[in-house]
Amino acid sequence: MVDELLFFMEVLVGGLLAGTMYSLVALGFVLIFKASATFNFSQGAMVFFSVLAFVGFMQDFNIPFVLAFILAALLMVVVGLCTERFVLRPLMNASEDTVLMATIGLGYVLEGLAQAAWGVEVRRLDLGIGDFPVPWIADNLKLFISALDITAGLVAAIMIIGLFLLFKYTKIGLGLRAVADDAGAASSIGIPLKHIMLLVWSAAGVVALVAGCMWGARAGVQFALVDLALKALPVLIIGGFSSIPGAIIGGLIIGAVEKVLEVYIGPFFGGAIEGWAPYVLAIFFLLYRPEGLFGEKIIRRV
């Protein structure tokens, strides 16, 4: 009995921590959705691009870890800058659908650029954190939990607190929330939309880099990262597209649910339900709570 309970806990905690990796990816989507009401299809490509650049700096130019990370982050700011200037600004008054299509195009450009610059082979990313159970926890709590998962959890927590403080207490954060509510009204009182766009795209780029590091360390830095990022879609449907806490909780739910289902119900379906179970859950949310758990409700005054 105790063993079974321990096993369940292990599955659950493992799932929750793996879920923080989804949360990290979803965060990038939320940032951009808040400011431009667009689902950024290039987020996956940004993850791939940023982490490939990071690894490329380290392995091809022998730049030390920290410096390479800073360079990659700066590169993502440049990407944000170029996106604002060459994609978003010309489409300033276009419909949201047009911007959505543009992000798909942007995704292809980033994928192509990354592979042209750094090659197509899978690269190993060593963060110096092993993807194996932490002995201390294994000994004391009898739970086998990966050090990488714990790190991802901590990193996600720090990023969330940081972003929350940024949005709640800074001037530019207030500007961003205003734009998210009503871009037209925001520009009528002199909030410059291009600064806000620049901010969110750069922030989304840096978040993509962090997410890419976590995923890259686990699965290798490879093209599959682009598709992995789409796992963020059910996360966002559950958490709400415009909510940062929603992205986090949504990620945790997806992580936990998919692991628990895989272990306990998977055998009845011949296993590998991890791949589609989150989408089934997402469909239920779309039917019964379309704004997600934390999405901003469409407020109607009666």
Contact residues toward another protein (CB under 8 A) are: 92-93, 171, 174-175, 177-178, 180-182, 184-192, 296, 299, 301
Instruction: Report the C-alpha gap between 168 and 161 in whole angstroms.
Output: 10
Angle between helical axes of 244-264 and 277-288 (0-180°, round to 10)? 130
Minimal distance, residue 296 CB to another protein, in Å: 6
* Shortest spacing between CB 289 and another protein, in angstroms: 18
Q: Give 13 or 32: the residue with its C-beta nearer to another protein.
A: 32
Closest to another protein by CB, 140 vs 188, is 188
Could you tell me the smallest distance in angstroms from the CB atom of residue 95 to another protein? 11
Cβ-based nearer residue to another protein, 180 or 235: 180
Cα distance between residue 230 and residue 241, in whole Å:
14
- Alpha-carbon distance of 194 to 179, in angstroms, equals 11
Angle at 205 between CA 203 and CA 211, to 5 degrees: 105
> What minimum distance in Å lies between the beta carbon of 186 and another protein?
7
| CB of residue 170 to another protein, shortest distance in Å | 11
Taking the C-alpha atoms of residue 50 and residue 186, their distance in angstroms, rounded to an integer, is 31
Nearest approach in angstroms of CB 242 to another protein is 9
CB-wise, 192 or 271, nearer to another protein? 192
Residue among 153 and 246 whose Cβ is closer to another protein: 246
Rounded-to-integer distance, Cα 228 and Cα 203, Å? 20
The neighbour count for residue 25, using CB atoms within 10 Å, is: 30
Q: Which is nearer to another protein, 124 or 168 (CB)?
A: 168
Contact 295, 246 (CB under 8 A): yes
- Asked whether the CA dihedral 238, 236, 166, 172 is positive or negative, the reply is negative
Structure-token pair, residue 197: 């766009």
